[in-house]
Chain A
Amino acid sequence: MAINNPPAIDIQNMGFRYPGGSGVIFSDLNLKVAKGERFGLFGPNGAGKTTLISLMTGLLAPDEGQIELFGHRIGKEHNLVNKLFGFVPQDFSFYQELSPVENMDFFGAWSGLDKKTIRKRTDELLQILGLEEVRNKQVQKFSGGMKRRVNLAIGVINEPEILFLDEPTVGVDVQTRHAIINYLLELNKNGTTLIYTSHQLSEAEGLCQQVALIDDGKIIAHNSLNELLKDYKEDSLEHLFLNLTGKDYRNDV
């Protein structure tokens, strides 16, 4: 695998275990994601996807090794690093009592934006994501799909260079999924690196260029999607997934 661009993410010899010894353990993990890539991270339940994203976003700290975003070490340069990326968690990560505009005012300020920029980005994003008409309504009255779009809008308000997406389309209808994926492709076209994780593998096929399959805390395959399908003689990401991770149930306790 060749990485031509300087790495957006550089994980070097990283080790991690949850306090108390339970949960996923990463040991000597190495991973590079190039700038401008659309990178998909897939694996069964409990494989370590969310933990790895938490480590990459600084929510968890590695026990060994280091993680760098555009050459800046996570955990050492908190404010600088945190300005570089946006995060769209799996849970609705905003205040349901507030309207989309009020949420974006608040999260925009916490992202380090000034009032004028927040206003401009809010107008743009609500327009693009079809939330213009409900901009001043409390989010708690929204449907699941609308809440997903609010979740995404807040995650990208700071025009991040890297965007982490943890199952951004879970539980939404086809229209919303289509709108979200199109918007993500648009973002990527403008230079944003996407780090995406989901169980929607057919959706991922249309979005991701580079793919890593992770299981039991280890990266078991990492290449471009086309190369991986060719190498393993599979016709879809789902078949490749089952081929490499097996068909047994996974209990994530």
Chain B
Amino acid sequence: MFKLRATILKDIRILWRDKVGLSLMFAMPVMLVIVVTNIQNSTFQLVSKNKLPILISNQDTGQVSSQLISSINKIGMFKVLQISGRQNEKSMSDAMHAKDAMLGVIIPANFTSKVAAKANNVAGKALKSFGLEGGTLKPAGDVDPLTLYYNPVLQESLRLSVEGAVRSALQLVESRETLRSLYFSINEKPMPENLENEMLNNKTAINEIPVTKGGTRIAPNATQHNVPAWTIFAMFFVIMSLGGSVVREKVSGSFIRLKTLPTSYLVAIVSKQITYLCVTMLQAAVIFSIGIWLFPVMGLPALNLPSDLVALFVVTIICGWCAVSYAICVGVFSDTQEQVNGFGAISIVILAAIGGLMVPSFAMQGFFRNAANFSPMHWCLEAYYTLFLEGGKLKDIINNIAPLFIITILLQAATFFGLKRKNLI
């Protein structure tokens, strides 16, 4: 026990004096979590609070196009900027850049007359099918399409929701025209405004409720998503310091002396595991604290800790142990510091990517969806999300902890095999 205590003390002292290693393990992940949460929060706000600038060139002079613009305005997600004069692709592109608009729409000339003609035609057909004689059925051509321009930096998911919103506004004005035409044909007078509004605008509300295991009503936000994810990344990032420390010790002269002393090198490995496990726990505590106390000061949503703190502790300690085991394993099999740094950094990014830290694993296809199961970060993230987003308890994350534990044991076994093979124990 005294040997282990002395070794832990030695590791702590060396770590404490390694300012670069410390900054890699603490400052960098903290910066990462702040930056990524800020950026993602801005994206959330872009849709929910901030309005997306949309440039509209109305080539039509009629009422329907004005109604369409008004409907787009009422959606609430756009800041409508109108531009006069005829526009083509080039001039629209220039105007979008000039006005910093991500989207542009050209409403074609004769939009109103064509929508009205189509509405009359549809109303006539409807009356005929009811067995009533309406107006004369005039053939109606297709309405010329609206053209939607978008900045390629706009993410596809956002572009699709924009397209859906514009389509919904278009649907509204077309339905209104058809309804008016139908009403006029039957009653030979315009439709009363209150009836029109009732028929068109009385939408059924949609209540959005997050489905959680604990029945809590914590709305997911950028903080709840990012803090757990980047905490995991930070824990695995100890490879840069720990993996390097294992290699440095192996190639340094001190290792020769260690091998001649009446103590197994396993003591050194156990010491590193304990020391760096404490580091990972400290990383989690620091990042969670920043989420709880610093984020609100920065205008970001505060982190809400899960109700089951024991479960949070269990996940964090197993995740930390897995991260430490991975770092030591890579350190044992590497021969140089460069190998650890190169392989370590790249492998962590890959494990994070396939583990769902960058793109949700449910959005992945085929191979990568299966590959996620081999990333320890995936299981850590699933466990954290169950706790942070779904309000789960310890029993709800057993299925995530078990694979994580198995991966950790496999890493420990590989480390032992590596130490034996290299005659280090």
Q: A residues touching B (Cβ–Cβ < 8 Å)?
A: 57-59, 78-80, 82-83, 85, 87, 89, 91-95, 97-98, 102, 105-112, 114-115, 138, 154-155
Contacts and interface: CB of A to CB of B under 8 A. Distances in A.
Given A89-B256, A93-B256, A109-B2, A98 B13 contact: yes
Contact of A78 (B18, B255, B262): B262
Given A95-B14, A97-B14, A79 B262 contact: yes
Nearest to B17: A97
B246 to A, nearest CB: 14
B257 A89 contact: yes
Interface in B30-44: none
Contact of B260 (A82, A91, A97, A112): A82
A59 B256 contact: yes
Interface of B: 2-3, 5-7, 9-10, 13-14, 17-18, 252-263, 267
A106 B267 CA distance: 12
A112 B252 CA distance: 22
Given A98-B10, A106-B10, A93 B254 contact: yes
A93 to B, nearest CB: 4
A111 B10 CA distance: 15
A203 to B, nearest CB: 22
Given A102-B13, A111-B261, A91 B253 contact: yes
Nearest to A90: B253
A94 B260 contact: no
Nearest to A98: B13
Nearest to B258: A110
Nearest to B16: A97
A107 B10 CA distance: 10
A92 B263 contact: no
The list of the 8 closest CB pairs from A to B, nearest first, reads: A91-B253, A109-B6, A93-B253, A93-B257, A82-B262, A79-B262, A106-B10, A110-B261
A108 B255 CA distance: 15
Nearest to A85: B260
Contacts of A89: 253, 256-257
Contacts of B259: 58-59
Contacts of A105: 6, 9-10
21 contacts: A57-B260, A58-B259, A58-B260, A59-B256, A59-B259, A78-B262, A79-B262, A87-B256, A89-B256, A91-B252, A92-B253, A93-B253, A94-B254, A94-B257, A106-B9, A106-B10, A109-B5, A110-B6, A110-B262, A111-B261, A138-B17
Contact of B262 (A57, A91, A111): A111
Nearest to B5: A109
A114 B2 CA distance: 8
B3 to A, nearest CB: 5
A105 B9 CA distance: 9
Given A97-B17, A114-B2, A138-B17, 13 more contacts: A78-B262, A82-B260, A83-B262, A89-B257, A91-B252, A93-B257, A94-B253, A97-B14, A106-B6, A107-B261, A110-B7, A110-B258, A112-B261
A26 B36 CA distance: 62
A115 B7 CA distance: 13
Nearest to B2: A109
A95 B254 CA distance: 7
A95 B260 CA distance: 16
B18 A97 contact: yes
B260 to A, nearest CB: 5
Nearest to A115: B2
B286 to A, nearest CB: 23
A82 B312 CA distance: 45
A59 B260 contact: yes
A78 B9 CA distance: 25
Contact of B263 (A58, A87, A112): A112
Contacts of A110: 3, 6-7, 258, 261-263, 267
Most buried by A among B2, B5, B13, B254: B254
A148 B323 CA distance: 38
A108 B6 CA distance: 9
B203 to A, nearest CB: 68
Nearest to A60: B423
A91 B14 contact: no
Contacts of B260: 57-59, 82, 85, 87
Contacts of A98: 10, 13-14
Contacts of B256: 59, 87, 89, 91, 93
